[in-house]
Amino acid sequence: MVSFNIFNFFPLQKFRIEENSMSPFLKPGDTVLISRFGKIKIGDVVVFEVNDKHYVKRIEKIKGDKYFLTGDNKKESIDSRRFGWIEKKDIIGKVIANF
């Protein structure tokens, strides 16, 4: 899960990582910058919303406008293996930087 930034209406947003589901790539306390623009492809890391919660996961499969997303740390990740395919409209943006 990630923290939502108040600048959510801009094309670029910051999110803070709160869980280990994407380690070692992203760790709790890391901040990521996401872009709402650009094509999303397999291997990209995205922030999305499910049940009013924000998550950051990697695109594993694409089927039309639906995405199968998983965490890099499969043991600790709550992802598409649990809540199924994610629709394009639920993706907030693609991670473009980590700091």
**Using CA atoms, how far apart are residues 81 and 31, in angstroms rounded to an integer?**
25
Average pLDDT, the chain: 91
Kindly tell me if the per-residue pLDDT of 51 is higher than 60: yes
| Mean pLDDT value of segment 8-18 | 82
Distances, alpha carbon 14 to alpha carbons 3, 21, 56, 79, 85, in Å: 9, 18, 12, 21, 24
pLDDT exceeding 70 applies to what percent of the chain? 90
* Global pTM value: 0.87
The structural domain count of the chain equals 1
Which residue range(s) make up the domain with 49?
2-98
Any idea what the CATH number is for the domain that residue 52 is in? 2.10.109.10
pLDDT exceeding 90 applies to what percent of the chain? 84
Kindly tell me if the per-residue pLDDT of 74 is higher than 50: yes
**Using CA atoms, how far apart are residues 66 and 68, in angstroms rounded to an integer?**
7
